[in-house]
């Protein structure tokens, strides 16, 4: 089985470039040039130097003493939370801003959900002196003010998106529309391993620094570059793509992707695309996505704004289809509890996204003493409000946190959406029916 | 013979084509709108299948789609509504939408049912030429559904030729690099692009779309192509209060 993108832009049955003809020249230009640029010595030297001196890489690989004891494993955390701007997102934006410069682009656009990718993009634009326009759903603008203010301080223009459901999916649509309207001078810095080919591959390559470092660091600390298991959370899937990348062809290494399950699959209030979705096209890519019987894309739900995406990168759809990775789910509550466990046992406050990966520790059957690497994709500063609520409920001895009230939904399809019954078989049939390009 | 080919055989210029979103301005208005458009002398109609995430569309068509979906429109419902459309309507009818809707419906059942109600062609802006050629060409042919592909000001000549080779009805020439919606007229640059395409002497007729909203832009577009498509301007015009009959009559009259 091959896990790299093929020369037509597909991972198995997934990927491709399902874009309106208006975008064809832009995407083609990028496709023709991205590898040549990325593999040039001047690009590599500058990229690696910025990752070291600006981002602060390599990020540490930290052996957890107490958590390892608790789960009877050897647990290492990859500390992407310690990067400049607070998450793995900066690895990609550094790469793409250099790409934009090599392509001669003067204007940068990006989409953002919680604002992490928006801040990472505004940051590299400030450094490069380029105009930066960030599309952000109006609902997200209202609930993520600190990140909006950061982007503005960095000199970016934040455009609240009023179309559709006013969240990440719609912000992405609006960024793509902007690109259609400004094709020549603009580079679109997409924030995850999603979108038309070559974006999923380009972003995965920029993020692959994560597993490149893990291999070296694990070799130094354990004498082998190979863990038994790698765990990462998946929304669009960029941090997981980075953490898995250099292990995709290492058959002994188990890959675990953790999706956000919101209030639980059976409630329909979920963002677990692999469990609740079916094959289709979103943002220019053939992948798995959450949709109604009529093929309308559904707004997902998760407490974590970074995992709250109705699709998933085509690489992950392929890892699922080929059974290379194991996809599991963690609910809002499980994620919050896992965040507190890490905080109180190791003194690290993780982002809500990473907390979903941590929740997997309770769900997996590990061999005693196996080596596990878990990617802590970001830090929890932005999530203090959700965590504060949990502290309050702890003191009040309330059992459940009412996480759902956090997010108002504007989704007109939600009412008609329920996770299909017999979903496993139906999904398998639909995937089997897909064409292999 | 497919009605699209028949139209282009009998009429070579000033072909007026209108786009509207099915389910807009209100549920179950599609058939009425189609009949009124035909009665007012429109040559061809594109029926928009509403989609939650219409990437190539500007605000007007986005909003019409959202309203239609909120009112319960679906591809299944639309095909049902169109069942008796061929009783009174003879002009070519095309469905326009996004590929996810069709794919999720099942491409073959879509072609079959579209053909059964009398649809002549489809415009799917995000179905790549290559994917069509490899996977769906024979299927569309079997059900006599003509696919219409888009070219834009930045489509390279070589790709225009590939598009030409796969086109059986007409080529949809997108006037400017933009999403759908009205523009403030066409510039010299637009006009020279229209002329450049005209000078390529493509084997199928070319129809201009995007940015055409009134008599002036319609005439400009027709100067170097067989006709033009008006979408957003029409959708906007029939929004809100009903009175479809008067509104449509006035809208079309102003173009002539």
Question: What would the 3-class secondary structure string for chain B be?
Answer: CCHHHHHHHHCCCCEEEEEEECCCCCCCCHHHHHHHHHHCCCCEEEEECCCCCCCCCCHHHHHHHHHHHHCCCCHHHHHHHHHHHHHCCCCCEEEECCHHHHHHHCHHHHHHHHHHHCCCEEECCCCCHHHHHHHHHHHHHHCCCEEECEECCCCCHHHHHHHHHHCCCCEEEECCCCCCCCCCCCCHHHHHHHHHHHHCCCCCCEEEECCCCCHHHHHHHHHCCCEEEECHHHHHHCCCCCCHHHHHHHHHHHHC
Which stretch of A156-165, A205-214, A308-317, B145-154 has the lowest confidence by average pLDDT?
A: A156-165
ipTM of this complex prediction, to 2 decimal places = 0.95
Long-range CB pairs of B235-239 (<8 Å, 24+ gap) are B235/B19, B235/B20, B235/B21, B235/B24, B235/B60, B235/B61, B235/B64, B236/B60, B236/B182, B238/B20, B238/B24, B238/B25, B238/B33, B239/B24, B239/B25, B239/B64
| A293 contact residues in B (CB cutoff 8 A) | 74, 104
pLDDT of A119 > 90? The answer is yes
A392/A384 Cα distance (integer angstroms): 12
Q: Is A28 helix (H, G, I), strand (E, B) or coil?
A: helix
Does A435 touch chain B if contact means CB atoms closer than 8 Å? Answer: yes
Q: What's the pLDDT score for residue A411?
A: 57
A89 a catalytic residue: yes
A102/B102 Cα distance (integer angstroms): 38
- Quote the distance between the C-alpha of residue B197 and its chain's center: 19
| B59 contact residues in A (CB cutoff 8 A) | 163
Q: Please indicate whether, in this complex, the C-beta atoms of B55 and A413 are within 8 angstroms of each other.
A: no
> pLDDT digits over B146-173, tens only?
999 999 999 999 999 999 999 999 999 9
Percent of chain B with pLDDT over 90: 95
Phi, then psi, of A298 in degrees rounded to 5: -95, 140
Higher per-residue confidence, A412 vs B15: B15
Q: What is the CA radius of gyration of chain A?
A: 20
Q: What's the pLDDT score for residue A395?
A: 74
B147: which 2 tokens? 């696919």
pLDDT of A234 > 70? The answer is yes
Q: Residues in chain B whose beta carbon is closer than 8 A to a beta carbon of chain A?
A: 51-59, 62, 66, 69-70, 74-76, 98-105, 125-128, 131, 134-135, 149-152, 154-156, 159, 174, 177-179
Q: What's the pLDDT score for residue A112?
A: 97
> Chain A residue with minimal CA distance to B102?
A295
pLDDT of B196 > 70? The answer is yes
Please confirm whether the linkage preceding A198 is cis (ω < 30° from 0): yes
Within a 10 A sphere around the Cβ of B194, how many other Cβ atoms?
22
If you average pLDDT over residues A414-425, what whole number do you get? 61
> pLDDT digits over B82-111, tens only?
999 999 999 999 999 999 999 999 999 999
If you average pLDDT over residues B25-29, what whole number do you get? 96
Reported confidence tier of residue A394, pLDDT bands at 50, 70, 90: confident
Q: Please indicate whether, in this complex, the C-beta atoms of A180 and B62 are within 8 angstroms of each other.
A: no
Q: Which of B28, B43, B57, B158 is catalytic?
A: B57
Percent of chain B with pLDDT over 70: 100
Residues 21-40, chain A, touching B (beta carbon < 8 A): 21-22, 24-25
Q: What's the pLDDT score for residue A406?
A: 46
> pLDDT digits over A20-37, tens only?
999 999 999 999 999 999
Reported confidence tier of residue B215, pLDDT bands at 50, 70, 90: very high
DSSP symbol at A263 = T
Reported confidence tier of residue A420, pLDDT bands at 50, 70, 90: low
**Domains of chain B, each with CATH number or no CATH:** 3-7+14-253 (3.20.20.70)
pLDDT of A105 > 90? The answer is yes
Q: What angle do CA B78, B34, B86 make, to 5 degrees?
A: 75
A111 a catalytic residue: yes
B228/A306 Cα distance (integer angstroms): 43
Which DSSP helix (H) or strand (E) runs through A380? none
Q: Please indicate whether, in this complex, the C-beta atoms of B58 and A177 are within 8 angstroms of each other.
A: yes
pLDDT of A414 > 60? The answer is no
Reported confidence tier of residue A413, pLDDT bands at 50, 70, 90: low
If you average pLDDT over residues A409-418, what whole number do you get? 55
Q: Which of B46, B81, B120, B237 is catalytic?
A: B46
A184 a catalytic residue: no
**Residue written as tokens 């080596």?**
A371
Percent of chain A with pLDDT over 90: 85
A364/A45 Cα distance (integer angstroms): 40
Rounded to the nearest angstrom, the minimum Cα separation between A296 and chain B is 5
Look over chain A and give the mean of its residue pLDDT values, rounded to a whole number: 93
Which among B76, B134, B177 is the nearest to A22, CB-wise? B177
A379: which 2 tokens? 């830090």
Q: Please indicate whether, in this complex, the C-beta atoms of A177 and B69 are within 8 angstroms of each other.
A: no
Q: Please indicate whether, in this complex, the C-beta atoms of A20 and B125 are within 8 angstroms of each other.
A: yes
Q: Please indicate whether, in this complex, the C-beta atoms of B55 and A282 are within 8 angstroms of each other.
A: no
Testing the interface with A: which of B100, B106, B162 to mutate, by most A Cβ within 10 A? B100
Q: Please indicate whether, in this complex, the C-beta atoms of B56 and A22 are within 8 angstroms of each other.
A: yes
A368/B249 Cα distance (integer angstroms): 78
Residue among A273, A279, A308 nearest A295 (CA): A279
Q: Please indicate whether, in this complex, the C-beta atoms of A291 and B70 are within 8 angstroms of each other.
A: no
pTM of the model: 0.95
- B214, burial (CB in 10 Å: exposed 0-12, middle 13-18, buried 19+): middle
If you average pLDDT over residues B51-67, what whole number do you get? 96
């Amino acid at each position: 089985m091959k896990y790299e993108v093929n020369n037509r832009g597909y991972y198995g049955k997934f990927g491709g470039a399902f874009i309106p003809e208006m975008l064809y020249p832009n995407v083609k230009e990028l496709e023709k040039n991205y590898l040549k640029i990325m593999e040039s010595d001047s690009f590599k030297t500058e990229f690696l130097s910025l990752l070291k001196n600006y981002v602060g890489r390599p990020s540490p690989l930290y052996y957890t003493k107490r958590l390892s004891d608790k789960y009877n494993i050897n647990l290492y955390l990859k500390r992407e939370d310690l990067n400049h701007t607070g998450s793995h997102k900066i690895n990609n934006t550094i790469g793409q801003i250099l790409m934009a410069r090599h392509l001669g682009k003067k204007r940068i656009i990006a989409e953002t959900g919680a604002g992490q990718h928006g801040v990472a993009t505004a940051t590299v634009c400030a450094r490069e002196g380029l105009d930066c326009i960030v599309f952000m759903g109006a609902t997200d603008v209202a609930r993520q003010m600190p990140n909006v203010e950061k982007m503005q301080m960095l000199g970016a223009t934040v455009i609240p998106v009023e179309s559709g459901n006013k969240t990440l999916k719609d912000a992405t649509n609006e960024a793509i529309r902007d690109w259609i309207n400004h094709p020549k001078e603009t580079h679109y810095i997409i924030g995850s391993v999603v979108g038309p080919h070559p974006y999923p591959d380009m972003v995965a390559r920029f993020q692959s620094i994560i597993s490149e470092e893990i291999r070296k660091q694990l070799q130094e600390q354990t004498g082998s570059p190979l863990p038994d298991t790698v765990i990462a959370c998946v929304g669009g899937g960029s941090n997981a793509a980075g953490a898995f990348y250099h292990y995709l062809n290492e058959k002994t290494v188990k890959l675990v992707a953790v999706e956000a399950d919101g209030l639980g699959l059976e409630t329909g209030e979920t963002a677990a695309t692999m469990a609740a979705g079916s094959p289709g096209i979103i943002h220019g890519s053939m992948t798995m996505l959450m949709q109604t019987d009529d093929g309308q894309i559904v707004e997902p739900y998760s407490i974590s704004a970074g995992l709250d995406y109705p699709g998933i990168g085509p690489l992950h759809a392929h890892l699922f289809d080929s059974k290379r990775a194991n996809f599991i789910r963690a609910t809002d509550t499980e994620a919050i509890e896992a965040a507190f466990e890490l905080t109180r046992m190791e003194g690290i406050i993780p982002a809500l996204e990473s907390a979903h990966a941590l929740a997997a520790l309770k769900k997996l059957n590990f061999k005693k003493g196996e080596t596990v690497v878990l990617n802590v994709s970001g830090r929890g500063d932005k999530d203090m409000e959700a965590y504060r609520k949990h502290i309050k409920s702890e003191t009040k001895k309330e059992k459940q946190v009412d996480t759902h009230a956090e997010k108002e939904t504007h989704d007109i399809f939600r009412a008609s959406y329920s996770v299909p019954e017999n979903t496993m078989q139906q999904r398998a049939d639909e995937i089997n029916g897909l064409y292999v390009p | 013979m497919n009605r699209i080919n028949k139209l282009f055989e009998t009429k070579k210029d000033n072909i007026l084509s209108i786009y509207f979103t099915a389910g807009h301005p209100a549920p179950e208005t599609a058939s009425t709108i189609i009949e009124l458009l035909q009665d007012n002398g429109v040559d061809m109609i594109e029926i928009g299948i509403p989609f939650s995430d219409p990437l190539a569309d500007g605000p007007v068509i986005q909003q019409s789609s959202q309203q239609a979906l909120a009112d319960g429109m679906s591809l299944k419902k639309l095909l049902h509504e169109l069942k008796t459309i061929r009783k009174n309507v003879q002009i070519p009818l095309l469905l326009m939408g996004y590929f996810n809707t069709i794919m999720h419906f099942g491409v073959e059942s879509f072609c079959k049912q579209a053909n059964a109600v009398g649809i002549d062609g489809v415009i799917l802006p995000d179905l790549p030429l290559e994917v069509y050629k490899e996977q769906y060409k024979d299927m569309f042919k079997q059900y006599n559904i003509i696919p219409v592909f888009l070219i834009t000001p930045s489509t390279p000549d070589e790709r225009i030729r590939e598009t030409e080779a796969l086109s059986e009805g007409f080529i949809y020439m997108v006037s400017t690099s933009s999403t759908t919606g009205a523009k403030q007229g066409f510039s010299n640059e637009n006009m020279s692009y229209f002329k450049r395409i005209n000078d390529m002497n493509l084997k199928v007729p070319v129809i201009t779309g995007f940015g055409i909203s009134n008599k002036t832009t319609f005439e400009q577009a027709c100067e170097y192509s067989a006709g033009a498509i008006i979408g957003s301007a029409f959708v906007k015009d029939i929004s809100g209060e009903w009175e479809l009959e008067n509104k449509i009559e006035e809208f079309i009259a102003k173009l002539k």
